Amino acid sequence: VTNTPWGERVSFIFNPDSDLVAKPLHVSPFMDMLGNWKMKANEPGANIFITISVQHPNLGDYFTATLTAQRISSSMVNDLEMFFWLMPQKVALWIYWHALKLWWKNVPFIQHPRYTNPSYREEASIRNRKLQFCQISGQDDNSHLNFDSSYSSIMNQSSIKDRWCVWRDAQWPWG
Collapse the DSSP code of 91 into the 3-class scheme (helix H, G, I; strand E, B; otherwise coil) and give the result: helix
| Average confidence score pLDDT of the chain | 80
In angstroms, the CA 139 to CA 65 distance is 26
pLDDT tens, residue by residue, 9-28: 888 888 899 999 889 889 88
pLDDT tens, residue by residue, 46-103: 999 999 999 998 999 989 999 999 887 777 777 777 777 788 888 889 988 999 999 9
In angstroms, the CA 15 to CA 168 distance is 22
Chain Cα centroid distance, residue 35: 9
